[in-house]
Amino acid sequence: GVAGSFGPSRLLAIRSVVELAVPGHAYSWSYAFPDIVIGCPADIANSIGYINSIGLDPTSNATYNVVQGLIDELVVAFPDEYFHLGGDEVQLVCWNSSK
């Protein structure tokens, strides 16, 4: 798998850093965890593209539990001292229009 490729890349002096793209880019998360995402109103989603219009819900404790669980799994699968948590490309207009 992907985790197995990290060892050989180190032999070539290549550092691979895992990124968990949150809180934006959560479209795929909405299928498994619909309660931890916030979507945009249809008129905004249509203008920015639906796949970019779903973000994680920062007001829900469940969001932090799910993200922490995934981080716990990733740091075991990808043992490195660095890990990237995106943090960009959040559609603030979607967060601001949520209830």
Which residues are tagged catalytic? 89
Q: How far is Cα 87 from Cα 89, in angstroms, rounded to an integer?
A: 7
Nearest to 95 by CA among 25, 48, 39, 46: 39
Tokens standing for residue 71:
């981080």
Q: How far is Cα 73 from Cα 68, in angstroms, rounded to an integer?
A: 9
Q: How far is Cα 19 from Cα 85, in angstroms, rounded to an integer?
A: 6
Q: How far is Cα 99 from Cα 89, in angstroms, rounded to an integer?
A: 20
